[in-house]
Amino acid sequence: MKIIDRYLIRNFLGPFFITFLFSLFIILMQFLWKYVDDLVGKGLEWYIILELLFYASATFVSLALPLAVLLSSLMTFGNMGERYEIVALKSAGISIGYLLRPLTGLVILICIFSFWFSNSVIPVANWKMKSLLYDIKEQKPALSIDEGTFYKGFDNYVIRIGKKHANNEDVEDILIYDHSRHQGNCTMTYAKRGVMKMTTDKKYFLFTLYDGYYWDESKNMNSRSNQFPLSRARFKEQYKVFDLSSFEIQKSDDSFFKSSYQSMPLQELWVHADTLKMEIDSLREISAFSLMNILYFFNNYVRYDSLFDKKMAEPNPYVLADQPLSKKHDIYNYAKQSAMGYKNTVQFAQDDLSYKKKNLYAHQIEMHRKFTLAVACLLFFFIGAPLGSIIRKGGIGVPLVVTVLFFAFYFVVSIIGEKVSKGSDIPVALGMWFSTIVLVPVCVFLTYKATVDASVLSAETYSKWFKKLKMKFSKKHEDITTVS
């Protein structure tokens, strides 16, 4: 490897890793904003939150790589242009095309890594993240009994505390409703004061009640009497123990999330897509067969008039004319029920067909996404590198603005293509590769302009052009004034 190649790769890799982590962090913040309501107030352990963020960040790697390639290539060639290194290399006979060569090989390796990561790692991270996120959503809010409110966190119990002291343990005016017998507010405990503590292993919540009363007006389920006897007792000290196992996060079976199309590698997506195609063909055959049967029953009771070339709504005399009235009624009912049955069959098949079509489009979109995000790395390099050599602005300001504009444009076009392909208006392949097709001419144009050293995006060029245009209009205005 030549010295200039090593120099280019070294200058590219530094900004690439920094911008990659920066891009991943920005995308991860969007994820946190989306699910912040499900995470706050659950009393989650720090390692559970870190595990969720780890899986979520792994799913965003393929999306962050094109951003990092675009921003780092802009910064690399922009810095070199600002320091006049590109001018010096050109004067030594080294063209822009030669400078792009070593980094093109490196970006191709990044594209291969992006596809491998999308096909091997992201599916596993997806079903792990979805499973953990589902468990977090199902978890109860953290234990927090506030004064003056009815707390329903414990199963079959409602607790109200009148006053809580500063140590969060000593409480007063305690009211506990026991709904374990499912007979309403029939069992109640009241205490003037008490102490609430959690055991050291955090598995149980202990209520120590002092100077209180106990009422029980529930009915004995084994008794045949409709009476509700009242039991009342007074106590000096009583203990209530509540199980906290329901407040711990419970690991669910993640096999359901593993069967999602977002959790499948390319091979499984291909197999599932073929299966869905066969099921769709089968449903179409069922719908066609049911429609033929409906027409068959209809033609049995409506005859065809060849003279007027139309169908007459007149009962066929060979079927109904000689039948008694009760028999005609049975025939009409049978025809109606048969038609309704076939209609329901067709409607069910159509609904199932619509669902399977959407599922098929989702599988096909996910297959193409693995390729389009990998190819986007190469496209963004051939946008960022030529653009950096043309703009000749280093640092982070101008490259960041240009990166946001181009990536926003790419993202919007990608979303439009994906939405259109989901609606079966255009083929899925065309919709998913539409953003790539749009960016290819931009890449070719910018690379050509950078190779021929054109100042297409130079601010000085446009300022000179505007000055010439202003002088031209001012001169024309002076000529008009002189003539007048």
Rounded mean pLDDT, 70-98 = 84
Q: For the segment 17-30, what is each residue's pLDDT rounded down to a tens digit?
A: 988 998 899 888 88
Task: Please report which confidence band the pLDDT of residue 113 belongs to, taking 50, 70 and 90 as the band edges.
Answer: very high
pTM of the model: 0.69
Q: Higher model confidence: residue 280 or residue 119?
A: 119
Report how far residue 175's alpha carbon sits from residue 161's, in angstroms, rounded to the nearest whole number. 6
150: which 2 tokens?
């009815």
Distance set, CA 480 to CA 472, 473, 474, 477 (Å):
13, 11, 10, 5
Distance set, CA 254 to CA 16, 124, 388 (Å):
35, 11, 46
Contact 19, 72 (CB under 8 A): yes
Q: Which amino acid is at 399?
A: P
Q: For the segment 399-427, what is each residue's pLDDT rounded down to a tens digit?
A: 778 778 888 888 888 888 888 887 666 78
Q: For the segment 235-246, what is each residue's pLDDT rounded down to a tens digit?
A: 888 888 887 766
Cβ neighbours of residue 80 closer than 8 Å, sequence gap 6 or more: 11, 86, 388, 389, 394
Rounded mean pLDDT, 451-475 = 66
Q: Alpha-carbon torsion 225, 226, 230, 231, what sign?
A: positive
Task: Please report which confidence band the pLDDT of residue 145 belongs to, taking 50, 70 and 90 as the band edges.
Answer: confident
**Choice among 44-48, 111-115, 160-164, 175-179 with the minimum mean pLDDT:** 44-48
Rounded mean pLDDT, 124-136 = 84
Cα radius of gyration rounded to whole Å, the chain = 37
Report how far residue 119's alpha carbon sits from residue 270's, in angstroms, rounded to the nearest whole number. 12
Report how far residue 402's alpha carbon sits from residue 73's, in angstroms, rounded to the nearest whole number. 12
147: which 2 tokens?
């004064």
Q: For the segment 166-223, what is each residue's pLDDT rounded down to a tens digit?
A: 887 888 998 988 887 777 778 888 998 998 888 777 778 888 899 898 888 776 655 5
Contact 259, 362 (CB under 8 A): no
Report how far residue 103's alpha carbon sits from residue 6's, in angstroms, rounded to the nearest whole number. 10
Rounded mean pLDDT, 340-359 = 78
